[in-house]
Amino acid sequence: MPETLPIKRALLSVFDKTGMADFASELSALGVELVSTGGTHKLIAGEGIAVRDISDLTGFPEMMDGRVKTLHPKVHGGLLAVRDNPTHKAAMEAHGIGAIDLVVVNLYPFEATIARGASYDETIENIDIGGPAMIRSAAKNHAYVTVIVDPADYAPVLAALKVGGVPYDMRQKLAAKAYARTAAYDSAISNWFAKAIGYNDIPYRTFSGRLAEVMRYGENPHQWAAFYKTGENRPGVATAKQVQGKSLSYNNLNDTDAAFELISEFDPKVPAVAIIKHANPCGVATGSSLTDAYLKALRCDPVSAFGGIIALNGEIDAGVATEMIKIFTEVIVAPSATAGAIAIIATKKNLRLLLTGALADPRSDGLTAKTLSGGLLVQTRDNGNIDDLELKVVTKKAPSAAELADLKLAMKVAKHVKSNAIIYVKDGATVGVGAGQMSRVDSTRVAHRKSIDAAEAAGLKGALTEGSVVASDAFFPFADGLLAAVEAGATAVIQPGGSVNDDKVIAAADEKGIAMVFTGMRHFRH
């Protein structure tokens, strides 16, 4: 096995032709024999560069609309032959197989095809067969063959050739990258296929992504971390444009994603703002303007808002920008921002501003995954929406129109709060958030306690939860949680229902003279 590998013959077959003409010209100038296919051959030949057509090498024409052109022993034998193996050398000589030292292949644009919603038949035609086969053959035989799947690798390979050849460690990395590419490609195909035919419980499930950024560290400084983009065409942190600010950390991205998914629950016609800390909202509100909504959201928990993430469901204007920069914030994310707002935010040079172009669709489907030791938990996205549900009033008293609007807002927020989740809302704004407690009663009391602190910070007496409504992400197993909410000042409750003790909880609500609504849909978030 050579440590440094010269290249005498290269096979070039690419869909993305970025940089190919210049690369082929450089290879030819270095004395490399070029072999190519279809459009790549036309491009290279059109530049006046000497190049053999693949049909000349194999002795067979491209056939079946291009489905068969490189699936031939003279291609794969030339890639897979172990050069210093006598048996392999004898087979090459007996069958007229010449060695291929470099393969440059990138694949039919399958991911782009499904992203634009192509038909089933068109999508099938954009599944590359010959390309992945050549990549895998070349990568397997990286001891003797260099494989390139990314135009970004043209320059370093040329640089190596100009000083004697491609070193083994470079060939190893290129081979690893090649297998990662074919794995990601097959992952996209299998997931599309499963979705297209409704085969959710397909026996093998894979997820893939393309490296966007290696981060300084993960959740903690001793952890390695990187951000990979899946290519899903969903507005959010992966598709957003960062207008300003320092690089986003692992925790920034996680929290910003949580913030943007939450704010996307709200109709863009109604200004709404969410403030997130450690992936949980510490304040969410709607208002007459984004400024109004922001100030209402901030009032819920101004202490926790320090160093948080702010998400808005509309275009940031100068007014709300002026208010937001008054406290230390890590990230602001919104669909868009005016030039004036961008200039105001720019006065805080480390503050990251992300613009997504649109809100995410809270009703869209898709899969989410969570790693376990030795496995993955995969589920469909929680796309249940309170506005689509048939709500059932289960108490003698029905909520007023104003209470019902607040109840719906509270449940939209509860869907994005770590369970056990209890959310108090009053006049279109959260006034108490209880998240992640082991007991639902504890979440109820934590949210109340925080509302007292927020009232004190605003120079008020009592608790902000007086006269509020409350949402629970799951049923109250006993009446104690509901009674704690009533003690905090709640006048109406929304919850999924479904407990064996529903009748007792309903009776407790009737005894206290409050309204209660069942949704029939739980929103656990772990």
The residues carrying an active-site annotation are 140, 278
Contact between 195 and 228 under an 8 Å Cβ cutoff? The reply is: no
Q: Which of 491, 486, 477, 475 minimizes the C-alpha distance to 523? A: 475
Q: Which residue(s) pair with 316 in the sheet?
A: 337
The DSSP result for 170-205, as a single string, is HHHHHHHHHHHHHHHHHHHHHHHHHHHTT-TT-S--
CA distance 474 to 468: 19
Residues 6+ apart with CB under 8 A from 402: 427
Alpha-carbon torsion (229, 232, 236, 241), positive or negative: positive
CA distance 21 to 30: 14
CA distance 281 to 268: 19
Q: Which of 287, 259, 284 minimizes the C-alpha distance to 271? A: 287
Instruction: Say whether 166 sits in a helix, a strand or coil.
Output: strand
Q: Which of 115, 72, 117 minimizes the C-alpha distance to 96? A: 72
Quick one: tokens of 14? Answer: 């690419």
